[in-house]
Homo-oligomer: A and B are copies of this chain.
Amino acid sequence: MPKVRLEIAISLDGYAAGPNQSEEHPLGEGGMQLHEWIFKLAAWREPHGREGGEVNASTPLVEEARRGIGAGVMGRNMFGGGPGPWGDDPWPGWWGDEPPFHMPVFVLTHHEREPLTLGDTTFSFVTDGIESALAQAREAAGEEDVMIGGGASAIQQYLAAGLVDQMQLNVVPVLLGSGTRLFDGGAGAGLELEPLLVVDTPEVTHLRYRVG
């Protein structure tokens, strides 16, 4: 049975983004620190069309996060940054014209929009809720898993609905002090967690759990 996996980077004090998110700081002030460990990996750079990069203990996990995944789900902010409806010039996403997903991606939003195909990634915009988005992603993924990529709000909703099979937190050793908490509003309270894997480097600690 295909799984619903989620993965997100957080600070040691539990923030998925820093405070004061803006066009200048789409991840909030200091939020980019949560992703520096991955930007330098060859396993991240190659699918993003960049050369070089490191190989370290995080490499197998980053590679694994791409294998066996048939579709993705993400929140509106993760897709496009910033609040508000689609404008004439919507944020193009972190990835430019060649998104690294290479699969169907379902974006949770309150604003209807025609599907957008960039390279071999098609973004579909789902306005009728998280269960609908997951059902569409499962259908598109076939025998493969679905990856919920964030952000915090999407993850909270999927945890609260008990729809997650596996959760990986990439814990970065910084204290942001404020911002968007991954765990807020009681999301996931009482779910059973079984530790599956711990991998650490000086820059990040990966904690993977089976979610019951």
**In A166-198, which residues have CB < 8 Å from any B CB?**
169, 171, 173-178, 181-183, 186-191, 193-195, 198
Whole-angstrom distance between the Cβ of A87 and the nearest chain B Cβ: 33
Q: Does A149 count as interface, using CB distance less than 8 angstroms?
A: no
- Cβ-defined contact, B173 with A193, below 8 A: yes
Partner of A195, one of B173, B183, B188, B194: B173
A202 CB–B CB distance under 8 Å: yes
Chain A residues touching B, majority SS = loop
A14 at the interface (CB under 8 A from B): yes
Indicate if the CB atoms of A177 and B188 lie closer than 8 Å: yes
- A163 interface residue (CB < 8 Å to B): no
Asked whether, in the complex, the Cβ of A13 is within 8 Å of the Cβ of B194, the reply is no
A205 and B202 contact, Cβ closer than 8 Å, known pairs A173-B193, A183-B13, A183-B175: no
A139 at the interface (CB under 8 A from B): no
Q: Which of B171, B186, B189 contacts A207 (CB 8 A)?
A: B171
A38 within 8 A of B: no
Task: Indicate which residue in B187, B190, B191, B198 contacts A205 across the interface (CB closer than 8 Å).
Answer: B198
Instruction: Write the chain B residue with the least CB distance to A189.
Output: B177
A200 at the interface (CB under 8 A from B): yes
Which of B174, B175, B189 touches A175 (beta carbons < 8 Å)?
B189
Q: Contacts A194-B202, A195-B205, A200-B198; is A178 near B174 (CB within 8 Å)?
A: no
- Interface flag for A118 (CB, 8 Å): no
Q: Within the complex, which residue of B159, B171, B176, B193 is in contact with A189, where a contact is CB–CB below 8 Å?
A: B176
7 A-B residue pairs with Cβ-Cβ distance under 8 Å, sorted by A, are: A14-B181, A174-B193, A175-B183, A175-B187, A177-B186, A178-B186, A205-B207
